[in-house]
Every structure is written in C-alpha cells, then in structure tokens.
C-alpha cells in the first residue's frame, strides 16, 4: 500500500509539473521581502504556438553571469532591489553617503574589530580593492564596534594596512536597515544603486573566482 501511495504522488507531481525547485525557499527572502518590500514578479509570457524554442543571447549571458556569482560564493539577487541610502561618519569625522558612490560597484561590508572571520577576510578585501579601485570598485567597510570605535577601528586599519573606506555604525542602525544578523556580511551594489548580490560569512576575495566576478561586473555594459 505504501509503495502505491509513493508511486501515486510521483505520478501526480509529473502530471502537475511540480518540481523540487519550486518548494525550496529563498534564503534572502527576509532581506528582499520584509526589509526592502515585496516586489511583484513579472508575468511569464508563454511562447507562441509554433515558435521555435531556442536560447537567445540574453539567456546565454545570464547563464554565464550566474556561473560567475556561483563560483565566487555570492548569492545573486534575481530582482532589482534598491539599496537603502544612509549617511555615516568615517574615521576623519566626515559624513559619507552611499548615494555619493553612484556609478561605482560598491562592496558594502559589515564587520567589527573583534570578529574572527572578519580578520581572515579583511586582507583579501584590501588586495581586491588595490586591483580594481582605479576601474570603478569602491569598498565601504561599516564597523559596528561600540565604545571608542574611532580609535579601535583606526588602530585596526593602520595595523593591517587597510586603505579602503571605513565607516562607523556603533548603534548598528545601518546594519538593521540591511537585515544584518551576523558578521561579516557583504552586499554588492551596482552603479545604479541596486543590490545585485550578497555574501553571508567570510570570503577570500583575492581568489581568482571573486576577481573574475568583479572584473565581469565592472566591464558589464550599463543598461
């Protein structure tokens, strides 16, 4: 009897077009839904009767882009999600806004000086920055350190010879805007101010896979 039930479920699934993929949840649904607002999906237009099924250039390019993200260990966002703007002070006390970096590929990296995985990741971000800073890459390292955060972060940046931008968010206000639950977390924001990907946890950003992704995104034609 049990075998018949299982076979019946499989048959219904095949007939109804049910796939396992449709049952898997999106790990970034909190960020893309509750935090940034739900976005209606574009209706899928079925091919016309007699229309030949072939892969067009855009589909091929999208497939190649997916591969770049996957190999770099970065979650690609399928929908256009506008990155919430914010203003924070840097180590010199100057205010820096995300919108000031429009036109650049921005790595928005949340971290803290006491974070072990961040210590592993930080030098690789510096190498990535040195390679691509003149080609349009900007890195905003948002520290959630509390207390004398200016001195803590300045000492850390100087000790490890990190030259990219560091901002201070001791109240974790911006972290909450971006639904940060743990660090490090890095968001990739394109030149139009849209979040296109995210990496939860430390990454070795100087590896060839990450560098290939960044090179591709910087060379990608603007819409």
CB 172 within 8 A of CB 166: no
Write the DSSP string, 21-80.
GGGSPPTTHIIIIIIT---PPPPPPPPPTT------HHHHHHHHHHHHHHHHT-EEEEEE
CB 95 within 8 A of CB 87: yes
* Torsion sign across C-alpha atoms 69, 83, 129, 28: negative
- Residue 118 falls in the annotated catalytic set: yes
Catalytic residue among 31, 106, 112, 118: 118
Which residues are catalytically annotated? 118
């Amino acid at each position: 009897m049990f075998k018949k039930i299982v076979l019946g479920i499989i048959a219904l699934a095949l007939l109804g077009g049910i796939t396992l993929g449709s049952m898997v949840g999106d790990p970034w649904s909190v960020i893309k839904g509750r935090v940034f607002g739900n976005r209606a999906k574009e209706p899928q237009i079925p091919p016309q009767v007699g229309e030949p099924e072939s892969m067009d250039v855009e589909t091929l390019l999208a497939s190649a882009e997916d591969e770049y993200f996957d190999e770099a260990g970065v979650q690609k966002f399928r929908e256009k999600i506008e990155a919430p703007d914010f203003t924070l002070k840097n180590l010199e006390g100057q205010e820096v806004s995300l919108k000031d970096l429009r036109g650049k590929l921005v790595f928005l990296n949340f971290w803290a000086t006491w974070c072990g995985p961040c210590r592993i990741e930080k030098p690789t971000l510096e190498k990535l920055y040195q390679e691509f800073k003149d080609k349009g890459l900007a890195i905003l390292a948002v520290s959630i350190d509390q207390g004398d955060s200016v001195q803590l972060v300045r000492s850390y940046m100087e000790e490890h010879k990190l030259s990219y931008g560091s901002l201070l968010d001791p109240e974790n206000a911006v972290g909450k805007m971006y639904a940060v639950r743990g660090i490090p977390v890095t968001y990739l924001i394109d030149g139009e101010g849209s979040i296109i990907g995210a990496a939860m946890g430390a990454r070795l950003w100087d590896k060839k896979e990450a560098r290939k992704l960044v090179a591709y995104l910087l060379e990608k034609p603007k819409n």
